[in-house]
Amino acid sequence: MAAALLAAPVGSGRTAEGEATGPPPAGPDVPYSLPVVLPAPVQSPPIAPDAPYTRAVVGLLDQLLPPGADASRIENAVSLLTGGANPSCHGVGANGAPRGTSPAIMPLCWADAQGINWLLRPGETTAPMEMIGLAATFDRVYANAWGQVEGREGRQLMMTGLLGPQVDLSTFVNWRRSVNSSSGEDPFLGGELAAAQIEGMQGTGLMPR
């Protein structure tokens, strides 16, 4: 059932009698033009054949961890993965960049939740649906479109990545973030929609994590 629904194209709404309905009329409280047109689906950039150890990555590793690297050099390299100050990041997590590499490695800044959660300047990002609501559409196109929103807004607000999407299964009713972070109990549905969302995010330049 889920596979069949996921393959179905986006269609118009229908009344209880089965008649197709058009878009709702635009009113003074609608801040955008109707009907809304979804962006075309995008895909992640191609992966380099020699990834993850491309020539650039090997060169940076050689600079960060040369033979006989002492504790200070190792600590400097580890800052890319955990901790470290990034004063330009106003998200939920930051990673300071290692020092002394050419080209320089930029610091990382992470957003959290379903959508870009902008902590210090609210109102600058799109308020998302709950993840369970996105899952209820059974629609990869919608998931990809939402990933594009996250990608564009994240880049505009100087984020380098989003701590999501969440693909853990919702098996405990008392998990506090179950509704807004999980797509429910179906592993196939969660995996398919998360993959489409990631394509949208990476296709617009934002890293999922």
What confidence tens digit (pLDDT) does each residue in 153-167 have?
Answer: 999 998 999 988 888
Of 70, 106, 104, nearest in space to 96 by CA: 106
Does residue 2 register a pLDDT over 50? no
- Distance between CA atoms of residues 178 and 172, nearest Å: 8
Q: Is residue 136 part of a domain?
A: yes
Last residue of a domain, one of 56, 77, 109: 109
Of 149, 126, 127, 157, nearest in space to 204 by CA: 149
The answer to whether residues 119 and 134 belong to one domain is yes
The answer to whether residues 70 and 159 belong to one domain is no
Q: Six-digit token pair at 81?
A: 């993965």
The answer to whether residues 97 and 145 belong to one domain is no
Does residue 162 sit in helix, strand or coil? strand
Higher pLDDT, 6 or 48: 48
Which residue range forms the structural domain that includes residue 207?
113-209
Q: Is residue 60 part of a domain?
A: yes
- The pLDDT-based confidence of 179 (bands split at 50, 70, 90) is low
Of 137, 153, 141, nearest in space to 199 by CA: 141
Q: Residue 8 has what pLDDT?
A: 40
The answer to whether residues 101 and 141 belong to one domain is no
Distances (CA, A) of 159 to 42, 43, 44, 67, 142: 20, 19, 17, 34, 22
Q: Is residue 58 part of a domain?
A: yes
Tell me the average pLDDT across 10-21: 47
- The pLDDT-based confidence of 192 (bands split at 50, 70, 90) is very high
**pLDDT above 90: percentage of residues in the chain:** 47
Residue 104 has φ and ψ, to the nearest 5°, of -70, 150
Q: Is residue 17 part of a domain?
A: no
The answer to whether residues 118 and 205 belong to one domain is yes
- Summarised one tens digit per residue, pLDDT across range 50-92 is 999 999 999 999 999 999 999 999 999 998 887 767 888 888 8
Q: Is residue 31 part of a domain?
A: no
Torsion of CA 85, 89, 91, 94, to 10 degrees: -30
Does residue 110 register a pLDDT over 80? yes
The answer to whether residues 124 and 138 belong to one domain is yes
Does residue 138 register a pLDDT over 60? yes
pTM of the model: 0.78
**pLDDT above 70: percentage of residues in the chain:** 80
Mean pLDDT of the chain: 83
Number of domains in the chain: 2
Last residue of a domain, one of 109, 130, 154: 109
